[in-house]
Structure 1
Amino acid sequence: MPEIPLDHVHVAPDDDPENAPAVFVLHGRGADEEDLLPVARHLPDDLHVISLRAPDPLQGGYTWYELDLSAGGLEESQPDAADFRRSLDLVAESVEAAAEAYDLDADRVGLLGFSQGAITSLSLALEEPDRYAWVVALHGYLADAHADRGPDGIEGKPVFVGAGTGDRVIPESRSVAAADRFEAIGADVTRGSYPGGHGIGQEELADLVAFVESQTA
């Protein structure tokens, strides 16, 4: 079995795990690989769930990268370039290794990220659109480093973008801008804005589950 670079939790499908579709789950800043498992439990039973742990310890949890606050504070922050590049590579390497280790259907691999995990997921989708069949990005934004990426391979890609109307960590406007950009380059975008702050409420959960079910049916 190949070594998977990032620590993770793997939940196999209930039936016939060989060549089954999969979702890679990327948590937010200061959380860990267990954080989004309650969300993943609502997803279809025929999915492999591989929830990855970010590489760097932070406040009892982990982070994908440090923040560049030079633009004026948390609400305008960007990923630190070197950290971000390292995490993007580690996730891509982990997806490749896990596909072999767990006999995944490589043509039916999705990404589901929250906050930093959403930012990472959107960038991965632009870097290697052929690797990911669909993307869920909750309460994130499109990093400046990838804002000008062209449409090659992203046309028609199903992308779900969720935002919180009262989110003070990643304002709704940043998630809306990410959805607008993906629409502009031809992705098939489903978007939702939900009451509340930097978290996943029941309405948002129901919509993302419906989106994933539509991609894996």
Structure 2
Amino acid sequence: MHTKSLEYLIRRPKIEISKPPLLIMFHGYGSNEQDLFSFAEELPDELLIISARAPLSMGFGSYAWYTIHFDATTSDKFSDLPEARSALSTIDLFIEELKAEYEINEEKIFLLGFSQGTILSMAYALNHPDKIKKVIALSGYINEDLIEKPFEKERFKALDFFVSHGTVDQVIPVEWARKTEPFLNKLKIKNEYHEYPVGHGVAPQNFFDLQRWIKERCK
């Protein structure tokens, strides 16, 4: 399916529910909307699940939210910032379109990102804490260049993050991810941080932990 802004897959709630919570998935660089959607069947029945396709086509079913400079050695040079900011604007439009299309509980919108999708999910929630309360951030990091300043801690009171990373991630070093927890703690944002002995991917235990985290917050 598609809105005016992005193509997406949908899993409707498996139970009759008025105004279901919404979970939106944002895949990583070079992937597509099928990737994270493989989790959908194992997530809580009451969720309306949307898996979005990034706007930039790389050919052969691969898509990206923005260009990555793989030869960069520091996180601040890794991302094409104008493209990433454009992607955040597209995501904002996409979320507004979904709210208009589906009757959802706007107090329970989850973003679930992987890698590039995580970087954007965390930046979006920090820029729009009035719209997003919960973020599942897999194998990514906080890119402060994408976050509007100054930080108004009062606005962040309802935010809640699940953050995880592989200790042997060969794409995004775990050292970049380890800055996330202190960053969120400084802003007094509720968060749960996990590491798993894997590369750039989601270990089974990681999935069970995020599944539990989501279930607890769907109640």
Q: TM-score range by the shorter chain?
A: over 0.9
Q: How big is the shift at 1:155? A: 2.4
**Corresponding residue pairs, total:** 215
2:103 is matched with 103
Separation of aligned partners in 1, 2:54 and 2:150: 24
3-state DSSP class of the match of 2:54?
A: coil
1:126 is matched with 126
Q: Which blocks of at least 5 consecutive residues in structure 2 are unaligned?
A: none
1:163 is matched with 165
Structure 2 residue identity aligned to 1:9: L
Separation of aligned partners in 1, 2:76 and 2:101: 39
- Could you tell me whether the CA contact under 8 Å between 1:67 and 1:78 is conserved in 2? yes
Compute the TM-score of the two structures, normalised by the length of structure 2: 0.91
Structure with more strand by fraction: 1
- Could you tell me whether the CA contact under 8 Å between 2:129 and 2:158 is conserved in 1? no
Q: How big is the shift at 1:40? A: 2.5
Q: How big is the shift at 1:133? A: 1.9
Q: How big is the shift at 1:4? A: 3.9
3-state DSSP class of the match of 2:188?
A: coil
Separation of aligned partners in 2, 1:190 and 1:179: 8
- Could you tell me whether the CA contact under 8 Å between 1:69 and 1:77 is conserved in 2? no
Separation of aligned partners in 2, 1:3 and 1:204: 31
3-state DSSP class of the match of 2:140?
A: coil
Separation of aligned partners in 1, 2:31 and 2:161: 23
Alignment RMSD:
1.9
- Pair 1:54–1:3, CA change in 2 (3 A): closer
- Pair 1:196–1:58, CA change in 2 (3 A): same
- Could you tell me whether the CA contact under 8 Å between 1:154 and 1:185 is conserved in 2? yes
Between 21-30 and 166-175, the greater mean CA deviation after superposition: 166-175
Q: How big is the shift at 1:19? A: 1.1
- Pair 1:77–1:138, CA change in 2 (3 A): farther
